[in-house]
Amino acid sequence: MELHAEAIDLVTRSPTVVLNAADARELGVNPLDRVQVRWNGRSVVCIVEVTEELVPPGELGATERVGHLDGMVEVTLAPRPRSVQYVRKKLDGIELEPTEVRRIAEDITEDRLSDIELSAYVTAVYTRGFSSAETLALTEAMTGAGDRLSWDTDVVADKHSIGGVAGNRVTPVLVPIVVAAGVTVPKTSSRAITSPAGTADTMEVFCNVSFDADGIRRIVDEAGGCLVWGGGVDLSPADDRIIRAEYPLSLDPQGQLVASVLSKKRSAGSTHVVLDVPYGEDAKTGSLEEARELAEEFKKVADHLGLHLTCAITRGNAPIGRGIGPVLEARDVLAVLSGDGPEDLRQKSVRLAGLLLDACGVNADADELLESGAAERAFRDIVAAQGGDRDVSLADLTPGEHTHTLEARRPGVVSHVDNGLVSEVARRAGAPRDAGAGLELQRRLGEEVAEGDALLTVYAEHEEKLEEARGLLVGSEPIRVRPPGESVVEHL
Amino acid sequence: MELHAEAIDLVTRSPTVVLNAADARELGVNPLDRVQVRWNGRSVVCIVEVTEELVPPGELGATERVGHLDGMVEVTLAPRPRSVQYVRKKLDGIELEPTEVRRIAEDITEDRLSDIELSAYVTAVYTRGFSSAETLALTEAMTGAGDRLSWDTDVVADKHSIGGVAGNRVTPVLVPIVVAAGVTVPKTSSRAITSPAGTADTMEVFCNVSFDADGIRRIVDEAGGCLVWGGGVDLSPADDRIIRAEYPLSLDPQGQLVASVLSKKRSAGSTHVVLDVPYGEDAKTGSLEEARELAEEFKKVADHLGLHLTCAITRGNAPIGRGIGPVLEARDVLAVLSGDGPEDLRQKSVRLAGLLLDACGVNADADELLESGAAERAFRDIVAAQGGDRDVSLADLTPGEHTHTLEARRPGVVSHVDNGLVSEVARRAGAPRDAGAGLELQRRLGEEVAEGDALLTVYAEHEEKLEEARGLLVGSEPIRVRPPGESVVEHL
């Protein structure tokens, strides 16, 4: 069918065209079906939305994601993407060939799968699992499907955390330590989706974090490393789409996780990676056993790729650091870098940095690099290269002015800090959107408290949001009893 | 967040609101997330679309499905539907409690699940299976969630086919036979989705088929039965949504199939049902074994519901009847009712009608009811009650004027008719949208043919569509060799 295309202002996740109901009936498409749109030798598969009036018969409304569309286009029913049959095969419990896995990755990268098909893929990998061979094929297919960085050095270090622990702002301390030892670290991080702050949100308190591949190269040339948001480059286009399908049911199938992390590290040109695998009640891996199994699968696939991977299994049963929320975490980071700050954050950062330096074959003492101020100087170089204030001090980092302090109702020893609840309180207070919102933990796991001692303080930029956060604290107990310990339990 | 709602003309499957990107960011929602919209004591969960210009900040565009919306509304992030955790539990292979199954059915009925969650549900049932207890709970939950019909008689007969066989227009022959025996048959049927015609499309050649519950009651009062489209009533609101999620991957998990069919029959007030379970290459059940297993699960659940179910396992390896497409199938139906027509369609209809009459405890001979013209009179009564021409004749049923005949390239015996290919040719020719489009099979399975004999004739209403159908015939062989037999293999 020939239709006259016009741009329509509707923001969509996937390329979408809006058709008049009469044309949709004629084509035999229902809302959310796919059509192939061809013009000037180009061809895009689009999702269909249907209208009675917004677009008249004979016309086609093209959203921005379709690309610059104007004039006559040819619209036909899109063939079903080939990978749909491979998803079905996996659902039936049959191991896929590498070419079939690659085809799936390609169709996801090109946005050819509908939400229904994508969800079936994620649940198939979740219920049937991926063999190491399938995971390897997926990692290779996802690597280099988008942007790819390369560096003029043989050793490029990187770090990743499996996540699920509040605070845990290890990255902005670890990267400067490793950079201070002379190793290149082109670190990209995420923004918060369901948590009160991602590393990118915290770094944004200091400087810009949105840079494209050229920007990242310039910063790394200048400062030896970077601490930027991963969304400015597209290291693994399939990944965002897969995460969206995993999120509603909190599915995170092992094979997919391994492929997502390792493909991004390879696309970033990294050669040596330290992986933080926290375990505990609220972390992604519940038990030490599970954490070990996941770490082993990571190592197996990394070995095949020629990527040097060190896995650190860490305790993930409580927040790391005192602050939760962008500004409050930024304060912890700057305090640790200047030789002060929360001991658990300092210890974990130094320990992981040490493992990474060892792996890189660099003879340097992480502790010494931090104590000497070398890491702080490296951090300030990065901040400056990313357009921030090199001389930033704690006085510049002021949290929200509206505060509420939760006090201990009885004396005792802190036995439990509820990661999930603490995160939710920080979000209600406005984090990460309001950078100054969040909370500060005044007592840590194992500390003794007297009745009436401050346990935590909530910070908000807006009075109403503080009230929302307080509402959540009524009748709940984010802080409760057991002894702390070294946070790295083992590494392999 | 308070927003000013205005209607927006965008046809969507689910209640949808269009937000300005600024408001979406403030709320923390991404496209396709859900929000709760409250006004005047009402509350609807809506999918979010995002625009930069179509809707200004502070406003909300409400699609038709949201309902009549005007003035200020309160918009908040919608909580995750409770059933999502039960879908996750099923994915983990754990049997669900009846209350959990009911909650899933309720959330699907109320359109609270996104495509991603719905697809995860379907794949969970597909990979993990449903126990008979789960299927029973689902059937009960789906029954009466929408419209419900009731009748002043103890015996209400009904028929269903598992599908997958081209032609197979048994229903419009069987219903009048059973009605002629004095049994009430409120039959609702579907339109074609991927086939060249559904029973509703074929009946629409004779009369109206879209009636609401009151209309159906009037027709059944007048004519003793009806042959209407099921879309005019909403016997199982969850079903349409589930089918949409099953379709892309051709998933049709047994528990879901059993619950969908039986809940609709119960909502329609049926007490005695004959179920056609075809098996064969292109049918839904591939082997006799599979067909038996499916029939047994159907009977087990039906027994618990107190529904009298007779399952007829039939051969599904070739089309039934000569015509494929609405008008061409209507011609077969009218011919069989007037004592002529394709023998296979006649035989299968009489056989299934006989099984149903036996089950209903009615002492009547289906063959005799057809031979005597009683069934034809009952059919014409139904057509008249549905607003059609009681005196319709074959001369009124003219297929498309553009034709193409496929001839045998060598002599032999017809060994195979490709259901799928034949259906696709009929669809390319324009069926079911163009009622006169489709094809007629001139030779049936097992018949001898001489070189140059006509094998099939394609009919189209438009020359271009005939060409499209011809294109598909080039290099393919829809008709190929084995002996026929009685189509009912066994019943139980």
pLDDT along chain A (492 residues), means of 10: 87 82 80 84 86 88 80 86 93 96 94 89 96 96 89 96 82 98 95 84 96 96 96 86 84 92 95 94 84 96 96 89 96 97 95 97 96 98 98 97 92 84 90 93 86 93 91 86 46 63
The backbone region for A101, taken as left when phi is positive above 0, alpha when psi lies in -120 to 50, beta otherwise, is alpha
Contact A76/B at CB under 8 A:
no
What is the DSSP code string of A108-125? HHTT-S-HHHHHHHHHHH
CA angle B50–B52–B55, rounded 5-degree value:
75
Judged by CB atoms closer than 8 Å, whether chains meet at A117 and B80 is answered as no
CA dihedral sign, ordered B1, B3, B7, B10: negative
Distance CA A249, CA B335 (A): 54
Secondary structure class of B380 (helix, strand, coil)? helix
Residue A145 near residue A238 (C-beta atoms within 8 A): yes
Judged by CB atoms closer than 8 Å, whether chains meet at A127 and B122 is answered as no
Show which of residues 253-282 on chain A sit within 8 Å of chain B, judged by CB atoms.
Answer: none
What's at A448, amino acid-wise? E
Residue B438 near residue B399 (C-beta atoms within 8 A): yes
E-strand stretches of A284-397: 308-315, 323-324
Distance CA B217, CA A343 (A): 77
Q: Which of A32, A87, A245 sits opposite B13 (nearest CB)?
A: A32
Query: What is the helix (H) or strand (E) element at residue A488, kind and residue range?
Result: strand A488-491
pLDDT value for B489: 47
Contact B76/A at CB under 8 A:
no
Average pLDDT, chain A: 90
Q: Residue A483 burial (CB < 10 Å; 0-12/13-18/19+)?
A: exposed
Phi, psi for B325 (deg, rounded to 5): 120, 155
Residue A323 near residue A332 (C-beta atoms within 8 A): yes
Secondary structure class of A155 (helix, strand, coil)? coil
Contact B90/A at CB under 8 A:
no
Give which of A456, A467, A420, A460 is closest to A438, Cα–Cα.
A460
Give which of B62, B77, B74, B66 is closest to B25, Cα–Cα.
B77
| Tens digits of residue pLDDT in B451-478 | 889 999 999 999 988 998 999 898 788 8
Show which of residues 1-30 on chain B sit within 8 Å of chain A, judged by CB atoms.
Answer: 8-13, 18, 21, 25-26, 28, 30
Distance CA A14, CA A21 (A): 20
Which of A26, A249, A462, A465 has the highest number of chain B CBs within 10 A, making it the mutation to test binding with B? Answer: A249
Judged by CB atoms closer than 8 Å, whether chains meet at A115 and B120 is answered as no
Which listed CATH number (1.20.1250.20, 1.20.970.10, 1.10.10.60, 3.90.180.10) goes with A83-129?
A: 1.20.970.10
Judged by CB atoms closer than 8 Å, whether chains meet at A120 and B80 is answered as no
CA distance A370 to chain B (A): 37
pLDDT value for B380: 98
Between the CA of residue B95 and those of A70, B133, B142, what are the distances in Å?
53, 9, 19
Distance CA A424, CA B79 (A): 14
Query: Furthest-apart CA pair in chain A: how many Å?
Result: 77
- Look up tokens 């056993």; give the residue: A289
What's at B14, amino acid-wise? S
Specify the CATH number of the domain B2-77.
Answer: 2.40.40.20
Judged by CB atoms closer than 8 Å, whether chains meet at A120 and B115 is answered as no
Which of A107, A158, A239, A252 is the catalytic position?
Answer: A252
What is the DSSP code string of B170-204? -HHHHHHHHHHTT-BEEEEEPPPSSSS--HHHHHT
Domain covering A157-385, topology: Pyrimidine Nucleoside Phosphorylase; Chain A, domain 2 (3.40.1030)
Distance CA A91, CA A294 (A): 22
Q: In chain B, what residues touch A54 (CB-CB under 8 Å)?
A: 8-10
Alpha carbon A328 to chain centroid distance?
19
Q: In chain A, what residues touch B245 (CB-CB under 8 Å)?
A: 116
pLDDT value for A486: 41
Contact A243/B at CB under 8 A:
no
Q: Residue A410 burial (CB < 10 Å; 0-12/13-18/19+)?
A: exposed
pLDDT value for B144: 77
Show which of residues 395-434 on chain B sit within 8 Å of chain A, judged by CB atoms.
Answer: 433
Other C-beta atoms closer than 10 Å to the C-beta of B477 total: 12
* Exposure string for A116-136, b = 16+ CB within 10 A, e = fewer: bbbbbbbbbbbbbebeeebbb
Domain ranges across chain A: 2-77, 83-129, 157-385, 399-473
Distance CA B60, CA B72 (A): 9
Secondary structure class of A443 (helix, strand, coil)? coil
CA distance B115 to chain A (A): 5
Which of A115, A201, A427 has the highest number of chain B CBs within 10 A, making it the mutation to test binding with B? Answer: A115
Distance CA A325, CA A204 (A): 12
Q: What is the DSSP letter of B80?
A: P
Domain covering B399-473, topology: Aldehyde Oxidoreductase; domain 3 (3.90.1170)
Which of B47, B77, B249, B434 has the highest number of chain A CBs within 10 A, making it the mutation to test binding with A? Answer: B249
* Exposure string for B381-397, b = 16+ CB within 10 A, e = fewer: bbbbbbebeeebeeeeb
- Which tokens go with A68? 């610059």
Judged by CB atoms closer than 8 Å, whether chains meet at A117 and B250 is answered as no
Residue A151 near residue A213 (C-beta atoms within 8 A): no
| Tens digits of residue pLDDT in B201-243 | 999 999 999 999 999 999 999 999 999 998 888 888 888 789 8
- Secondary-structure breakdown of chain A: helix, strand, coil percentages, each rounded to the nearest 5: 40, 20, 40
pLDDT value for B339: 94
Peptide bond into A432 cis (omega under 30): yes
pLDDT value for B485: 45
Residue A221 appears among annotated catalytic residues: no
Residue A222 near residue A250 (C-beta atoms within 8 A): no
> What stretches of B276-414 show up as alpha helix (H) in DSSP?
288-305, 326-337, 343-360, 366-371, 374-385
| Number of CB pairs, chain A paired with chain B, less than 8 A apart | 130
Q: In chain B, what residues touch A433 (CB-CB under 8 Å)?
A: 25-26, 28
Closest residue in A to B126 (Cα) is: A91
Contact A375/B at CB under 8 A:
no
The backbone region for A167, taken as left when phi is positive above 0, alpha when psi lies in -120 to 50, beta otherwise, is left
Q: In chain A, what residues touch B117 (CB-CB under 8 Å)?
A: 119, 248-249
Contact B169/A at CB under 8 A:
no
Which of A32, A116, A117 has the highest number of chain B CBs within 10 A, making it the mutation to test binding with B? Answer: A116
Secondary structure class of A235 (helix, strand, coil)? coil
Distance CA B321, CA B165 (A): 11
Q: Which of A87, A88, A115 sits opposite B116 (nearest CB)?
A: A115
Contact A54/B at CB under 8 A:
yes
Judged by CB atoms closer than 8 Å, whether chains meet at B91 and A12 is answered as no
Query: What is the helix (H) or strand (E) element at residue B3, kind and residue range?
Result: strand B2-7
Distance CA B133, CA B126 (A): 16
Distance CA A92, CA A110 (A): 25
CA dihedral sign, ordered A221, A222, A225, A231: negative
> What stretches of B361-438 show up as alpha helix (H) in DSSP?
366-371, 374-385, 419-428
Query: What is the helix (H) or strand (E) element at residue A355, kind and residue range?
Result: helix A343-360
Which of B111, B239, B252, B381 is the catalytic position?
Answer: B252
Judged by CB atoms closer than 8 Å, whether chains meet at A116 and B245 is answered as yes
Contact B201/A at CB under 8 A:
no
Secondary structure class of A96 (helix, strand, coil)? coil
Residue A35 near residue A77 (C-beta atoms within 8 A): yes
pLDDT value for A24: 85
Give which of A92, A139, A108 is closest to A255, Cα–Cα.
A139
Closest residue in A to B8 (Cα) is: A54
Secondary structure class of A414 (helix, strand, coil)? coil
- Look up tokens 């069918």; give the residue: A1
Contact A80/B at CB under 8 A:
yes
Query: Taking the C-alpha atoms of B435, B436, B442 and B445 in order, what is their torsion angle to the nearest 10 degrees?
Result: -10
List residues bridging with A185 in a β-sheet: A225
Residue B7 near residue A52 (C-beta atoms within 8 A): no
Residue A136 near residue A270 (C-beta atoms within 8 A): no
CA distance B152 to chain A (A): 39
Contact B51/A at CB under 8 A:
yes
pLDDT along chain B (492 residues), means of 10: 87 82 80 84 86 88 80 86 93 96 94 89 96 96 89 96 81 98 95 84 96 96 96 86 84 92 95 94 84 96 96 88 96 97 95 97 96 98 98 97 92 84 90 93 86 94 91 86 45 62
Residues in CB range of B475: below 8 A, 6 or more apart: none
Residues in CB range of A177: below 8 A, 6 or more apart: A349, A350, A353, A357, A366, A369, A370, A375, A378
- Look up tokens 């000569």; give the residue: B322
CA angle B412–B417–B418, rounded 5-degree value:
135
The backbone region for A47, taken as left when phi is positive above 0, alpha when psi lies in -120 to 50, beta otherwise, is beta
Judged by CB atoms closer than 8 Å, whether chains meet at A9 and B91 is answered as no
For a pLDDT cut of 90, what percent of chain B falls above it? 63
List residues bridging with B18 in a β-sheet: B49, B61
Judged by CB atoms closer than 8 Å, whether chains meet at A123 and B118 is answered as no
Distance CA B219, CA B384 (A): 9
| Tens digits of residue pLDDT in B44-93 | 888 888 888 789 999 999 887 787 777 899 998 887 788 999 999 999 99
